[in-house]
Structure 1
Amino acid sequence: MTEVTYHTLEAGNDEELHALKTMISDDLSEPYSIYVYHFFLSQWPELCNIAKLNGETIGVIICKIEPHRDVRSRGYIGMLAVKKEHRGHGIAKKLVRISIEKMIKAGCDEIMLETEVVNKPAIALYEHMGFIRSKRLYRYYLNQHDAFRLILPITSKSTVRSVYLQHSDQLAT
């Protein structure tokens, strides 16, 4: 049996990009335009990871890192998809772990995502990995489903309300 391989999306690899877009379109409830992909992939290409089996793309995760209110660094899991026939084999968990490790190395204080409240397998996956429900977002998705915002605290900064943390410009003075 061939093992699943994991790697960062290769810049300019149109075949992988097409496979990634097709998988996300098939599996996620939100439609994403080519601009959304380019937004993530042009700024954070190292945070787009692919799972392959026998040369076929079977899983993908797309993430980013940005400052949050100028007081902490927040990683964000924007999209995660695994082909239906390959679910239940730890592929999504491995993709999330790879991304978490990269975001921690990059200095993230916390990692956040949203998922539909009806997506019990995703909620179980993320909560098993230490994510905590922080908010329910009513009618968040185009299909009118609610979402849970989940946060994985990494540093002590993630446990302090933003208003109580000094802004980076105040630290310079």
Structure 2
Amino acid sequence: MLNADLSRCTELLLEKKLTIAFAESASAGRMVAEFSMVPNAGKFLKGGFVCYDACLKEDILEVPKKLVEQFTPESPEVTKAIAEGLSKLIKADIHIGVTGLPAPGGSETPEKPVGTMFICCIYKNKELFAERVIFNGEPEEIILRTVFHTAELLANKLQFLE
């Protein structure tokens, strides 16, 4: 069954004739997978890039190594940088970057616990929104909640775009 926020978001993408692409770290392609299951996805979905390892963020998306070292791969700064880097690789109206900690083993701290996710949306080369969220649950649940929350955030912005 299609999530209501995802459905609303993709309807707005179709209505406004906008295209979207994703740079995914922690979500490991789940964003693209979920958006691709919507009818007529080929009209708005350009594709995505999974950059789970920091070297892919640096080598392909041109995220400065110093940025990753200073802020960690799971940070708002790196999330914005991967969205911006994606905009140089895939031509689309909207570029979304996602990083975070759906499971132990990253840069978690008491201030940035497991479940912390970062989302950044670039619309026509300008930041449309950036958000840090914390979800509880198993990794799959955290990732799915991130996908649907991103769809909700984007839909709320798209409804006001001309």
Larger helix fraction of residues = 2
The structure whose RCO (Cα within 8 Å, separation 6+) is larger is: 2
Question: TM-score, normalised to structure 1's length?
Answer: 0.30
Larger strand fraction of residues = 1
Larger Rg: 1
Question: TM-score, normalised to structure 2's length?
Answer: 0.31
